[in-house]
C-alpha cells in the first residue's frame, strides 16, 4: 500500500488540473447568449455551480481511467493474471452517500432559485400574448396590439400567454426562461429585462409547418422610450379604431385576414380547408350541422368570427376554430367587409 501512495498523489493533482481546464474550456466556448434579465442572473448562478460539479466529476472519472491505461498497462512478457477484487463496502457507501448529498443540496438550492425567479412584483406591467400558427401577437394594457414586443428595462412584466390553436412555447434565450403556451389555459411568464437590446422570441415547441419561422422581435428599451412608444401606439390605434367605427374597410380586412392567421383554415379560391372557404360566402345559404340553413349576412359572419361555436357549418368540426374575441368590433367589421369582396 505504502508504495502506491504516489499514484494517488499524482492522480489527485491531475484531477484538480483537469477540473480547472474543463471548467475554463466550457466557459471559453461561450455557450450562453448574453444575460438580459434579472432571472437570467439567478439561473446562470445555479448553472455555474452545476458546470463546476460536472467538470469535477468528469475529471474524477477520466483521470484514473486514462492514468490506469498508461501506467498500469500489461508489461511485455508479463503473463500473470490481474488481482481479483470482490467488492469494497466502504468505497460503495462513499460513492452512494456523496452523490446523494449533492443531489439533495442541488434540489434545495434549485427550489429556492425557482422561488426567486417567480417572485411577483405587484407593479408588473401585464401584457397579453397570443400565440397562433405561426406568429406572436402582443396586446398592451393601453388598448393596442403589436407584432413586436417592446419592454421597458428594469421593470417586471407579466406576460399572460394564450394559444389560439396548438401548443407553442415562448422562448427568449437571453432571458433564459422558456414557457409552453397550452391552448385552453393562460400561462404566466414573468421577466425583468435588465439589458437594453434587440432580441428575438422563438417558438420552442414543434407546432407545424412554419414552426421554424415563428419568431418576433423583442426590444428592451429605456423606460422613457417605452412610455413614448406606448403613447404613439395608443394614439394611432385610437385613430384606426375611430376610422373603422366610421366605415368598415375591405383593405384593412384583407391585412387582418393575413395577420390573424385566417388563411390556415379559410381559402379564398373555393377549396375546402379546415374551415369553409370564403369564396362566394356572403349572401349564400349555409347548411348547419343541425340540418337547418342560415343566410350568410353581416350578423351571421360577425357572430361566426366572435363566437365560432354558436353555429357550426355541416361537414366541419365544432371546435376547429378558436375564439377571436380579442378582435375589436371595428376589426371584425373590416373582416366581414373583406369577405363580401370574395365572390
Ligand atoms: Cu409555435 Cu412552434
Tens of pLDDT along 147-173?
Answer: 999 999 999 999 999 998 899 999 999
Please enumerate in sequence order all residues whose Cβ is within 8 A of that of 263, keeping only pairs 6 or more positions apart, or say none.
Answer: 257
pLDDT score at 327: 79
Higher pLDDT, 20 or 260: 20
Q: What is the mean pLDDT of residues 15-25?
A: 95
Asked if residue 211 has its Cβ within 6 Å of ligand 1, the reply is: yes
pLDDT score at 338: 87
pLDDT grade for 12, boundaries at 50, 70 and 90: very high
Q: What is the mean pLDDT of residues 311-315?
A: 85
Residue that is written with C-alpha cell 401606439 in the block:
233
Cell (9 digits) for 312: 357550426
Asked if residue 202 has its Cβ within 6 Å of ligand 1, the reply is: no
Q: What is the mean pLDDT of residues 307-318?
A: 83
pLDDT in tens, 268-304: 888 888 888 888 888 888 888 888 888 888 888 888 8
* Whether pLDDT at 255 is above 90: no
- Residue 342 three-state SS: coil
CA dist 44 and 215 (Å) reads: 24
Assign domain 125-242 to its CATH architecture.
Sandwich (2.60)
* Whether pLDDT at 5 is above 60: yes
Longest dimension (CA), the chain: 100
Lowest mean pLDDT across 42-46, 206-210, 317-321: 317-321
CA dist 70 and 62 (Å) reads: 12
Asked if residue 256 has its Cβ within 6 Å of ligand 1, the reply is: no
CB 11 within 8 A of CB 67: yes
pLDDT in tens, 108-153: 999 999 999 988 989 899 999 999 988 999 999 988 888 999 999 9
Asked if residue 181 has its Cβ within 6 Å of ligand 1, the reply is: no
Higher pLDDT, 285 or 323: 285
pLDDT score at 265: 85
Q: Whose CA is nearest to atom 1 of ligand 1?
A: 168
Residue that is written with C-alpha cell 361566426 in the block:
304
Q: What is the mean pLDDT of residues 6-21?
A: 94
pTM: 0.68
* Whether pLDDT at 30 is above 70: yes
pLDDT score at 245: 63
pLDDT score at 159: 93
pLDDT score at 281: 87
**DSSP per-residue letters across 65-111:** HHHHHHHTSPPTT--PPPPP----HHHHHHHHHHHHHHHHHHHHHHH
Asked if residue 165 has its Cβ within 6 Å of ligand 1, the reply is: no
pLDDT score at 62: 95
Higher pLDDT, 278 or 330: 278
Asked if residue 214 has its Cβ within 6 Å of ligand 1, the reply is: yes
Domain boundaries, the chain: 2-68+98-117, 125-242, 246-340
Q: What is the mean pLDDT of residues 14-42?
A: 92
Q: Which atom of ligand 1 is nearest to the CA of 133?
A: 1
Q: How far is the CA of 168 from the centre of ligand 1 (A)?
A: 4
Q: Which atom of ligand 1 is nearest to the CA of 207?
A: 2
Nearest to 24 by CA among 51, 60, 62: 51
- List b or e across 304-318, with b for residues whose CB sees 16 or more CB atoms inside 10 angstroms: bbeebeebbbeebee
Which of 3.90.1300.10, 2.30.250.10, 2.60.40.2140, 1.10.760.10 is the CATH number of 246-340?
Answer: 1.10.760.10
Q: How far is the CA of 11 from the centre of ligand 1 (A)?
A: 49
3-state helix, strand, coil in the chain (%, to 5): 45, 20, 35
Amino acid at each position: 500500500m505504502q508504495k502506491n501512495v504516489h499514484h494517488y498523489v499524482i492522480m489527485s493533482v491531475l484531477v484538480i488540473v483537469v477540473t480547472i481546464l474543463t471548467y475554463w474550456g466550457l466557459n471559453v466556448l461561450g455557450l450562453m447568449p448574453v444575460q438580459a434579465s434579472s432571472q437570467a442572473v439567478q439561473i446562470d448562478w445555479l448553472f455555474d455551480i452545476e458546470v463546476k460539479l460536472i467538470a469535477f466529476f468528469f475529471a474524477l472519472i477520466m483521470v484514473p481511467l486514462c492514468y490506469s491505461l498508461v501506467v498500469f498497462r500489461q508489461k511485455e512478457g508479463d503473463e500473470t493474471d490481474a488481482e481479483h477484487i470482490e467488492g469494497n463496502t466502504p468505497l460503495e457507501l462513499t460513492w452512494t452517500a456523496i452523490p446523494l448529498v449533492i443531489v439533495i443540496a442541488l434540489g434545495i438550492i434549485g427550489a429556492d432559485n425557482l422561488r426567486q425567479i417567480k417572485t411577483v412584483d405587484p407593479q408588473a406591467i401585464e401584457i397579453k400574448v397570443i400565440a397562433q400558427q405561426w406568429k406572436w401577437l402582443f396586446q398592451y394594457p393601453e388598448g393596442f396590439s403589436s407584432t413586436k414586443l417592446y419592454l421597458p428595462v428594469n421593470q417586471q412584466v407579466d406576460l399572460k400567454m394564450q394559444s389560439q390553436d396548438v401548443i407553442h412555447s415562448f422562448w427568449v434565450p437571453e432571458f433564459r426562461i422558456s414557457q409552453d403556451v397550452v391552448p385552453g389555459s393562460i400561462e404566466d411568464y414573468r421577466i425583468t429585462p435588465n439589458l437594453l437590446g434587440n432580441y428575438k422570441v422563438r417558438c420552442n415547441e414543434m407546432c407545424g409547418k412554419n414552426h421554424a419561422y415563428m419568431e418576433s422581435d423583442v426590444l428592451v428599451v429605456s423606460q422613457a422610450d417605452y412610455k413614448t412608444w406606448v403613447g404613439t401606439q395608443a394614439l394611432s390605434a385610437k385613430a384606426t379604431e375611430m376610422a373603422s367605427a366610421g366605415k368598415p374597410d375591405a383593405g384593412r380586412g384583407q391585412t387582418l385576414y393575413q395577420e390573424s392567421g385566417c388563411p390556415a383554415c379559410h381559402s379564398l379560391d373555393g377549396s375546402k380547408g379546415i374551415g369553409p372557404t370564403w369564396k362566394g360566402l356572403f349572401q349564400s345559404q349555409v347548411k348547419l350541422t343541425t340540418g337547418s340553413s342560415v343566410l350568410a349576412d353581416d350578423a351571421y359572419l360577425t357572430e361566426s368570427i366572435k363566437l365560432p361555436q354558436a353555429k357550426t357549418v355541416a361537414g366541419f368540426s365544432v371546435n376547429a376554430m378558436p375564439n377571436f374575441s380579442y378582435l375589436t368590433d371595428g376589426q371584425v367589421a373590416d373582416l366581414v367587409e373583406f369577405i363580401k369582396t370574395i365572390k
